[in-house]
Structure 1
């Protein structure tokens, strides 16, 4: 986004949204004379009020642009792109105005209340803090030639509010994994559990190559610190509204090492809420065996559909295991999983939720991620799988299938494409799409908190009330299968 002077930037935004000065004046509750002077360049908003003013302007104009359905046009005019990226519209406008404000201050040589990232470790003001933190995190991670380790003692959800996680969309890492240890205030999570959990799940889904270990935030000791091992430490202050408006960076190598070690030692004493893992184990009577000792399950399947597999697939798996092609799975393990599912499928309640893009991807490729390894069903095995699902649903009316339709809304809760969620309502875990992660990245998250598990369950339950969700009976699925059989055969072509 090009950087203009404040008056020019504000006028361009108002012209684009077809908003008159008096309308903006009323919306942000500032006198018309002030707004007029801002747009003509006669004066700038006061430094102490500019963050609040820019945020109000951004929120108002974003609502107008969205109502006018001009979001894509905004991207073309202001971002010089025909595609809308990951940015939140209000935040993008806020940044645009903030950059323009700083450019105007620099031109007038009135920089006493601002600092630049390059020459100072201190930043005051919301926009300045966001710029500083964004610059430090991106630059320090991108220059690393080894896997990164970050400790964040501030609250995960507060950082969502401050658009911190959006930084990671643009970071180009040289090595993986990137290990992020971060705190989560479970009380804040429960206050708005649906939206808050959706934000956490979206973040985990979008940043698959970043291994998050999330700890319960039960103390304010060493609060609000972002420590990048061997690189830099950011200390920040959160105001009464929950926004970061003062931050400082420490570069001294000895101080960075000491602070990082103190923060990591402290956060690792806190209860783990979510933990990345290489495997959940394949031992007899281990986690996976006990996981299925329940009478109720929910599966959000974003990586193919590894359930209700026909006998022919298990025979293929057995043959592959016998030849040593399914390591670490053995023949005994394949037989055990087959037996567990034969026992489970006819006696328990099974609810499956699948995004439509995941269904299409599975039909095209045949890839599933069965516990600790990937397997690709042949074309014939996929045909048999479709028929077997219908047969099993006829045998067990407690099997429910629901589909989430994709939307144009990035954070709608329906565009998760690479992270699955499995729960038996007593315990649960998340699985990454192994075809979308670096080989050194851990593929599983174990949910180690009853509160987070309940919030995840409530979040997906809420999706069943969405206009983008539809459940199908076995009769409806059979009808769809016959109706679109020709399309499936096209997708099955190898």
Structure 2
């Protein structure tokens, strides 16, 4: 038993807590708490601080409730008051965790012990994939490469609505994963939505999606240098057994054998960073076409008034320290003015994001995070009205998320499509240190299916369309209210 396990078991017994209660408090299965107490297992290092804080809150509450403070001080030979009890317990847990972690690392290093585990019980398999594996991946203090030959369709239809993670890794995690195109395109409207939700739920991970034609029988997950999981599936593609290998030499042997299954020619969607995205003129080529479908999950960076262009260029040059981006913004100003005069554009926007834009003015123009001033926002609205009068081929579709319960938190990725090229943009990435900025879509079939999906979206009861006349009527009816909202936001900022 580890020092941490001994302490935890002592605290549980002393406070009169039930294992089930402790498990509920920290959000783990009872079997995990038992292993921490009795089998020298430890929580993942990434999760340990939160777990120890939760345990300290629970134990201090129970000890004070039962008026056992004096007995606690005597048992642990510490000076403690009701006010300091929580921090004393937390520090005890933290220090014992450190000691046990060092002992475990030294023991493994000294003996070269790498345990191979075979999981066959349904509960053990669930706990491993639902808790232990993601926590272990987050605990590695380095960038990671993960190969997953399992069909992503099995993941995107499995509780994806609850999958959004609030824990952001400190390092880049790239996941290469297979996708069964036959299954996917057999019901593309369903799977397109689920894949979109999946990307949003895991926006801090960089996924590369591959046609799984070369890997659909391998059933392997590999964390390079760290872990390989070999899965046996039943006829319904459910995992019946999982063999977990942690010997780095064996793991990398499996990695080398598996990597050739992920061929570049089978790449469907590719997580892309800004430099890679711009180096071959992708964005310029994208806007050299017509018939656009653009879904914006944050703000509205199109049809901008000329009065704000210099400010955006200056922001790119001064705040972003990026002369290339400043030049790109200037080029796009000219390109977009021509596009908006005559091209066909369908803009899809969320009702909530429009309201938020009215309040804070945030847009992400190319890679420049910019906050429109209240006056610029008003000029922006007028610019939209002026342009749509000149070009009747511009339409707006407002999506009301109130009609889409339980998925509003998974509508955070923008979509840019011209029916020939398609890319996704992750606004959240511009406020975090990890995750991709973009996804480029390399499959013509994907682009076709997305184009049809967005066309069909116009017919949904939660999607409200506005042509030039509709936009003007809306402005006539609600313009004064919108202006008051913008003025109020300025008052809040100044206050």
TM-score normalised over the length of structure 2? 0.69
What secondary structure sits across from 2:486 in the alignment? helix
Distance 2:162 2:144 in 1: 15
Residue deviations 1:50-93, cap 9 Å, x none?
xxxxxxxxxxxxxxxxxxxxxxxxxxxxxxxxxxxxxxxxxxxx
Q: Does 1:231 align with 2:229?
A: no
Shift of the 172–345 alpha-carbon distance from structure 1 to 2, 3 Å rule, reads closer
1:484 to 481, 485, 492: 481
Distance 1:320 1:418 in 2: 24
2:417 to 393, 416, 423: 423
What secondary structure sits across from 2:198 in the alignment? helix
Residue deviations 1:335-377, cap 9 Å, x none?
3211111111011111011112211222222221112322221
Superposition pairs of residues 380-395 of structure 1, within 5 angstroms: 380-395=375-390
The answer on whether the counterparts of 1:237 and 1:244 sit within 8 Å (CA) in structure 2 is: yes
Structure 1 residue 131, shift from structure 2 partner: 2.4
Report the counterpart of residue 301 of structure 1 in structure 2: 296
Q: Does 1:345 align with 2:343?
A: no
Report the counterpart of residue 130 of structure 1 in structure 2: 126
Shift of the 213–483 alpha-carbon distance from structure 1 to 2, 3 Å rule, reads same
Shift of the 342–246 alpha-carbon distance from structure 1 to 2, 3 Å rule, reads same
Structure 1 residue 481, shift from structure 2 partner: 3.6
Distance 1:167 1:333 in 2: 39
The answer on whether the counterparts of 1:306 and 1:368 sit within 8 Å (CA) in structure 2 is: yes
Distance 2:167 2:330 in 1: 43
What secondary structure sits across from 1:407 in the alignment? helix
Report the counterpart of residue 457 of structure 2 in structure 1: 463
Distance 1:179 1:173 in 2: 14
Distance 1:465 1:123 in 2: 48
Superposition pairs of residues 250-269 of structure 1, within 5 angstroms: 250-269=245-264
Distance 1:291 1:257 in 2: 39
The answer on whether the counterparts of 2:295 and 2:415 sit within 8 Å (CA) in structure 1 is: yes
Report the counterpart of residue 201 of structure 2 in structure 1: 206
What secondary structure sits across from 1:303 in the alignment? coil
The answer on whether the counterparts of 2:211 and 2:266 sit within 8 Å (CA) in structure 1 is: yes
Report the counterpart of residue 197 of structure 1 in structure 2: 192
Structure 1 residue 128, shift from structure 2 partner: 4.2
2:438 to 424, 428, 444: 444
What secondary structure sits across from 1:140 in the alignment? helix
Q: CA RMSD for the aligned pairs?
A: 3.0
Distance 1:120 1:450 in 2: 42
Structure 1 residue 302, shift from structure 2 partner: 0.6
Distance 1:260 1:223 in 2: 12
Structure 1 residue 202, shift from structure 2 partner: 0.6
Distance 2:246 2:310 in 1: 59
Distance 1:336 1:436 in 2: 22
1:139 to 131, 135, 140: 135
Which structure would you say has the larger Rg? 2
Tell me which moved more, 418-427 or 139-148.
139-148
The answer on whether the counterparts of 1:147 and 1:177 sit within 8 Å (CA) in structure 2 is: yes
Report the counterpart of residue 271 of structure 1 in structure 2: 266
Superposition pairs of residues 404-423 of structure 1, within 5 angstroms: 404-407=399-402, 412=407, 415-423=409-417
Structure 1 residue 174, shift from structure 2 partner: 4.6
Higher helix share: 2
Question: Structure 1: where are the runs of 5+ without partners?
Answer: 5-118
Report the counterpart of residue 56 of structure 2 in structure 1: none
Superposition pairs of residues 41-440 of structure 1, within 5 angstroms: 121-124=117-120, 126-163=122-159, 169-170=164-165, 172=167, 174-220=169-215, 223-279=218-274, 281-282=277-278, 286-320=281-315, 327-329=322-324, 332-407=327-402, 412=407, 415-434=409-428, 437-440=431-434
Report the counterpart of residue 61 of structure 1 in structure 2: none
Distance 2:251 2:455 in 1: 44
Question: Structure 2: where are the runs of 5+ without partners?
Answer: 1-18, 22-114
Structure 1 residue 386, shift from structure 2 partner: 1.1
Structure 1 residue 483, shift from structure 2 partner: 5.1
Distance 2:308 2:166 in 1: 40
Structure 1 residue 380, shift from structure 2 partner: 1.1
Shift of the 170–298 alpha-carbon distance from structure 1 to 2, 3 Å rule, reads closer
Question: Number of residues paired by the alignment?
Answer: 378
Structure 1 residue 233, shift from structure 2 partner: 1.4
What secondary structure sits across from 2:178 in the alignment? strand
The answer on whether the counterparts of 2:430 and 2:437 sit within 8 Å (CA) in structure 1 is: no
Distance 2:165 2:320 in 1: 37
The answer on whether the counterparts of 2:224 and 2:251 sit within 8 Å (CA) in structure 1 is: yes
